Structure 1
Amino acid sequence: MSHRPRTAEAIWQAADLPARRLAGVALNPTAGTDVLLGLLACDSAAVRMTLCRDRDLPEEVVNAVLTHPDHRTRSFFAANPHIDPAQRARLVDDAHWLVRARLAQGPGFSHGRSELPEHTVVRILTTYDREHLDTLYRQVPRSARWTFPSHPEPKVRAFACDWWSELTPRERSALLADPDEEVREHALRNGRDLDPEYVERVLPDRACHARTHLLMHGALSRRVVEQVLAAPVGREDLAMIAGNPSLPLDVLALLARDPDPQVRETVAGRPELTAEQRRALATDTDSAVRTRISVHPALTEEERAAIDYRVSSDETFGRFDIPARMYDPARSRHYALSGHPLLRRRAAHDPGLPPDLVARLSCDADPGVRVLLAQNHPQAPAELLLDSFLAYTGRERWSLTTRPNFPTEDLAGYAGAADPMVRRLALLSPQTPPGTVAQLSADPDPDVRADAARHPRLSPRRLVELLDDEELAHEAAANPALPPPVLDRLVAALDG
């Protein structure tokens, strides 16, 4: 039986200083193909991991990686987010389970270059063990949505059942009557939540994930609803059924008057509410309920404005990575022109907003609107991006600097800021003076030091000093300003 693979963190922690230097060389853009091939052949797992996982590679090196005798090295490449997914797909029939597992797992949610070719996904579905398929959906191209439900391979049709809510009624019926037993079982398993008798039969009588799922998303029989009303397992049971689309309207009216504000807040999001119910919730004693009803689609702008809602800016405003085709342009325009900041925030999610609305929301009075626009629109203006970064201190703040128009000119003045993340701005600018970069290479903050060690205007002398620094040797060796003779000496260690 195969041993459990070492984690990437463990591999890096075990690397000595010479190996960390060579790992930096693996990322240095001045390193040629011959150097990269030499690094691929070295003994250090940390060097090969960095080379194969953390950068794009020339074709000759890719070919060498794919035929490398060490399966761990191939596995690093299998989840490389910087490489064309079609290159990773060449490992689909690799002899080692770890390589195949890493390919199926993919780079993760935070990387855009993750969709494998459709034929590769089919190959994985038809030849891999199911234990390796849990996160494959992240890498399935959107085109598969239209072809997989009727694909000639039963395992592919079975996989299509996992996005049951997106299937058409005709597709669902076909899968439920599929000639293959496995497909029928998957279809039944995914569709049974829509059967009230099944939900009633299997609903757990204790608080658990399965009960939560069924109360929120399953088809609820009248008997189940009455049981929850009469004897809820927990008070949250009522809030769960309050959002369920199958809830009878008379029960919805009852829950709209429930003493629990969490229940009323959930009810306030229901599209079926009558005008009378909306008016009652608009004057609710709880601000969260009033805020939820204030964005109800049936309200006019005048009715929204009359509600005493509360909008917080103390939350995370991040990337959504939802394609523009998934948004309705007319709805986004309607939201962008609304007087309600929460609706304008919804519009700001849309990466396909036209220039006039981008310009309008760039000057919005609500900081959430501005930051969401900066995070999600590819044409967010430079001034908005910088202003949003300086004003916003939430969890996804640094990702603003990766947006296409983020400015990199005239940022050296931020080197003296009290906030270390603002000091890092100075190191995004190629014009920052060498003395400032050198000063920041000794900054108290580790991220600032690392950015400085990578900066192309860091002096050669300081770069050479950092090659002996356990923490920064890796960053310094990756710096394209590293003098060629020094780089040659580091590479010469491969032959030592």
Structure 2
Amino acid sequence: MPTPEQIWADADLPARRLAGVALNPSAPEDALLRLLADGPLAVRMVLCRDRILPDAVVDAVLEHPDTRTRSFFARNPHVDPAQRAQLVDDPEWFVRAHLADAPRVVAGGAPRPLPDEAAVRMISTYEGELLQGTFYRQISTGLRRSMPTHPVAKVRCWGVGMWDLLPAGTQAALLADADEDVRERAERHARYEDSAWVERELPARSCHARWDMLLHRALSRTVVNSVLTAPVTEGERAAIACNPSLHADVVVLLAGDPDPAVRERIAHRPDLGPAERRALATDPDPKVRLALSVHPELSEGERAEIDYEVPMNDCFHSHPEPSVHRDPQDVRRDANSSHPLLRRKAATDHYLPPDLVERLADDDDLGVRVLLAQNHPDAPASLLLRSFLEYDGHERAHLTTRPNFPTTGLAAFADHQDPEVRALAARDPETAPATVARLTRDPDPAVRAALARHPNLPQPRLAELLDDEELAHEAAANPALDSEVMHRLVTMQGQRE
């Protein structure tokens, strides 16, 4: 079965042009229905996967006899998730698998969650293998939080996976759950807190399970001593340095370890003693000093005395909403810190109050500003644009998807040396027709494609581009394309068939 990429690669010029019509926000409903019924596979793929659809077209998609066509709609990130959820009981496993797999979104974005009842239905009835991919990204925060106490046993099984975040009472209830599968899964997690069990089950060779235990599970003194004296592989000392079950004397020992990677890990531990903090604050390795400089037990004065350097080449990306919210006082403390890394941490909080949003939006650290822009739902338009102009790293494009990203005034960037910035002119409804036409001949293909869809594109140039091998798809998606032209293109397809 061809992949979506292969389907598109095999599409000829007329098919790509019709796929543009399928994307056109001005396309008449009857034209869309005809494309759905008679269009080539590439056209149906684009129509069902890559746009919001009128209700009548959605109804026709849900009843479409072709499995691939329904499967494209199952992964549409643009439609209301409740519409996609109508495929939850589709007779074909292929469609159900695509519904379970989260839709593709712009890097840094997150798919909108499915309705809780649909997610519960899938957890309750789908084969486990269908839920092993990115299904979890479609679970709402509310459902995720309720999973450990959910009335449906299979959902509680998923909730057991939050074991380390659960209060003792909830853990006890899961260990005594009426459902055998829930109890078994809870008992498996509880065993990880038994150092004797971990010692017995710890694999003797390097593998994922061994690393997981060394990093996260309760370690006996015997296991710790074996890692300190005869580790199975390089890096195991650094691994146990993160383990929360380490005894205080081992923490003291590893704080003076000759390997800076071990000392860096130890510097992050909240249980680090005052003497160890003082020693690591002057460590010869800059990464160790940086790690220690954000320790929660340090005062602002103590932080200021550490010789640390904050990296500026990091990726400043979006962070998913956590299942457990941070304490607002801790967030405020970090936002008001003199340390850029702590302010960056605060900037990722989705619930940052307005006064702190205003404060951090004008922060002198690029990372703080970009992280606030990437994560806060009320990030102001001026911050979003400034961040896009100043940051050229991973997930830059995600900034343009934020709710307040501006559209006015972007024509001013039509001659910018950065092609990604030039392409912003495509978002400005006031970009002059002559500028739009000129940018359809830009040296950068992404700029050409973006401006070919601008409604201010002069009609003669738009007509010319409909026959352009490269830009016909984008030109046919231009909302200024006359509906009669769209009908004619659809009719021509019918005659070809």
Q: Please give the TM-score of this superposition, normalised by the length of structure 1.
A: 0.94
Structure 1 counterpart of 2:76: 80
Question: What letter is aligned with 2:223?
Answer: V
CA contact (8 A) 2:31 2:487 kept: no
1:207-356 superposed matches below 5 A = 207-322=206-321, 326-356=325-355
Q: Greater CA deviation, 448-457 or 120-129? A: 120-129
Q: Greater CA deviation, 239-248 or 171-180? A: 171-180
Q: Greater CA deviation, 132-141 or 88-97? A: 132-141
1:12-161 superposed matches below 5 A = 12-107=8-103, 111-134=109-132, 135-145=134-144, 147-161=146-160
- Cα RMSD after superposing both structures: 1.9
Question: What letter is aligned with 1:471?
Answer: E
CA contact (8 A) 1:36 1:61 kept: yes
Quote the Cα distance in structure 2 between the aligned partners of 1:323 and 1:252.
29
Structure 1 counterpart of 2:193: 194
Q: How big is each residue's C-alpha offset from its partner over 1:46-82, in whole Å with a ceiling of 9 and x where there is no partner?
A: 1111111111112111111111101111111112111
Question: What letter is aligned with 2:477?
Answer: A
Structure 2 counterpart of 1:393: 392
Quote the Cα distance in structure 1 between the aligned partners of 2:271 and 2:322.
29
Quote the Cα distance in structure 2 between the aligned partners of 1:309 and 1:19.
58
Question: What letter is aligned with 1:234?
Answer: T
CA contact (8 A) 2:110 2:137 kept: no
Q: Greater CA deviation, 260-269 or 461-470? A: 461-470
In structure 2, do the counterparts of structure 1 residues 377 and 187 end up closer, same or farther at CA, with 3 Å as the change threshold? same
The percent of aligned pairs where both chains have the same amino acid is 58
Quote the Cα distance in structure 2 between the aligned partners of 1:205 and 1:324.
35
CA contact (8 A) 1:82 1:113 kept: no
Quote the Cα distance in structure 2 between the aligned partners of 1:323 and 1:106.
18
Q: Greater CA deviation, 308-317 or 415-424? A: 415-424
In structure 2, do the counterparts of structure 1 residues 148 and 369 end up closer, same or farther at CA, with 3 Å as the change threshold? closer
In structure 2, do the counterparts of structure 1 residues 353 and 324 end up closer, same or farther at CA, with 3 Å as the change threshold? farther
Structure 1 counterpart of 2:415: 416
Quote the Cα distance in structure 2 between the aligned partners of 1:111 and 1:50.
20
Question: What letter is aligned with 1:26?
Answer: A
Quote the Cα distance in structure 2 between the aligned partners of 1:368 and 1:355.
19
CA contact (8 A) 1:252 1:267 kept: yes
CA contact (8 A) 2:174 2:186 kept: yes
What SS does the aligned partner of 1:475 have?
helix
In structure 2, do the counterparts of structure 1 residues 32 and 339 end up closer, same or farther at CA, with 3 Å as the change threshold? same
Q: Shift in Å at residue 403 of structure 1?
A: 2.3
CA contact (8 A) 1:438 1:459 kept: yes
CA contact (8 A) 2:280 2:292 kept: yes
In structure 2, do the counterparts of structure 1 residues 174 and 380 end up closer, same or farther at CA, with 3 Å as the change threshold? closer
Q: Greater CA deviation, 371-380 or 315-324? A: 315-324
Question: What letter is aligned with 2:200?
Answer: R
What SS does the aligned partner of 1:41 have?
helix
Question: What letter is aligned with 2:470?
Answer: E
Q: How big is each residue's C-alpha offset from its partner over 1:161-212, in whole Å with a ceiling of 9 and x where there is no partner?
A: 2332233323323333334333333223333322212221222222222221
Quote the Cα distance in structure 2 between the aligned partners of 1:139 and 1:262.
36
Quote the Cα distance in structure 2 between the aligned partners of 1:407 and 1:150.
43
Quote the Cα distance in structure 1 between the aligned partners of 2:274 and 2:476.
67
Greater relative contact order (CA < 8 Å, ≥ 6 in sequence): 2
Q: How big is each residue's C-alpha offset from its partner over 1:111-134, in whole Å with a ceiling of 9 and x where there is no partner?
A: 545322222222212221111011
Structure 2 counterpart of 1:429: 428
Q: Greater CA deviation, 72-81 or 118-127? A: 118-127
Q: How big is each residue's C-alpha offset from its partner over 1:426-463, in whole Å with a ceiling of 9 and x where there is no partner?
A: 22222221122112112221111110111111111111
Q: Greater CA deviation, 84-93 or 205-214? A: 205-214
Unaligned runs of 5+ in 2: none
Q: Greater CA deviation, 138-147 or 66-75? A: 138-147
Quote the Cα distance in structure 2 between the aligned partners of 1:468 and 1:201.
70
Quote the Cα distance in structure 2 between the aligned partners of 1:148 and 1:411.
45
Q: Greater CA deviation, 56-65 or 244-253? A: 56-65
Question: What letter is aligned with 1:126?
Answer: S
Question: What letter is aligned with 1:432?
Answer: T
> Paired residues, what number?
492
CA contact (8 A) 2:36 2:44 kept: yes
CA contact (8 A) 1:38 1:494 kept: no
Question: What letter is aligned with 1:364?
Answer: D
Quote the Cα distance in structure 1 between the aligned partners of 2:401 and 2:376.
12
Q: Shift in Å at residue 152 of structure 1?
A: 4.5
CA contact (8 A) 1:382 1:407 kept: yes
Quote the Cα distance in structure 2 between the aligned partners of 1:385 and 1:152.
42
Q: Shift in Å at residue 267 of structure 1?
A: 0.5
Quote the Cα distance in structure 1 between the aligned partners of 2:221 and 2:104.
42
Quote the Cα distance in structure 2 between the aligned partners of 1:159 and 1:321.
19
CA contact (8 A) 2:335 2:360 kept: yes
Quote the Cα distance in structure 2 between the aligned partners of 1:224 and 1:145.
34
Q: Shift in Å at residue 156 of structure 1?
A: 2.7
Q: Please give the TM-score of this superposition, normalised by the length of structure 2.
A: 0.94
Quote the Cα distance in structure 1 between the aligned partners of 2:145 and 2:345.
28
Q: Greater CA deviation, 419-428 or 373-382? A: 373-382
